[in-house]
Structures are given as structure tokens and as C-alpha cells.
Amino acid sequence: MMNKRFYFTYGTEGQPFCGGWTVVEAPDYRTACALFRSYHPDKIEGLMNCSSVYSEEQFMGTEMALLSNFGARCHEIISLQRRCAKEKIVSSKELPALAKALGQANRQISEIQGLLKQLIQTEQGLIWQLRDLSGQCDRADKPKEAAGGKL
């Protein structure tokens, strides 16, 4: 079943938000109200903790949809979701192949880290050379590796 959108609007005081609205995605009006109440319970039994409730079609016909409601717009979207929670269980037969793949990945990560370190050192050496050429640094400030031209 496709969910519809319902708009719960707020006044200027005494409600969860000042102005604006909450969108509730639900299959029908009754479910939308129950979802809204689960987050914003009635302060007075049987009286919703909002100003008005609109279907999407009704709401889109209001000035609020174009402008705002007391200077505010949508504060939150509430929806009821159901997700599949299937977990993949690894068999003992798969473990050696997974361990091998993990070892290869770790070696590749180490190689990349080494390359990045070399790149950073080269970049630092180039910065020192540029500063040296432009006369912006004293030789005393220069690291020993940079002074020797090797990083």
C-alpha cells in the first residue's frame, strides 16, 4: 500500500513547534494521527497537539505550502518503515577465503599509506625549495631533511 502525506500544522504557542508543520507519511488519516501522537501526545485527551491536519492535496492549496506558517516551514517528517533484517551468516568454509581477501586489502592499504607519506614528504620538500628560492625562509628554520634536499 502506498503511503500518503499528511500535514500537521502548528500555531504560535503551546504546541511542539512555533509555526510550521510536521509531515506524516502513512497509508491513511487514522494511521497518520496515531503516528503523530506517538511523537507528540495529546496535552488534553482527544485533542491533537497541533492546530490542523491536512491531506497533501488540501495542504498544497494553502498559502502555507508556498510561503510559510508563522515564518516556519517543515520541522520533521514522521513515517512508519519496515525493513528486511536478513543477516548473511558466514559459513566456516568461507572463512579462509575471507581472511585471505582481508589480508590482501590490508596490504593494499599499507601500500597506499606509504605512497601518501612519500607524496606528503615530497610536497613538503617542494614547499621548502619554493620558499628558499623566494627568500622567505632562513636555513636555520629548515628541517635537516629539507636542507639536504632529501625527504
Query: What one-character-per-residue DSSP string does 1-37 give?
Result: ---EEEEEE--SSSSSSSSSEEEEEESSHHHHHHHHH
**Cα–Cα distance for residue pair 115/132, rounded to 1 Å:** 26
Rg (alpha carbons) of the chain, rounded to whole number? 31
Summarize the confidence of residues 22-50 as an average pLDDT: 96
Q: pTM surpassing 0.75?
A: no
**Per residue in 73-117, pLDDT tens?**
999 999 988 777 776 677 777 888 888 888 898 899 889 898 988
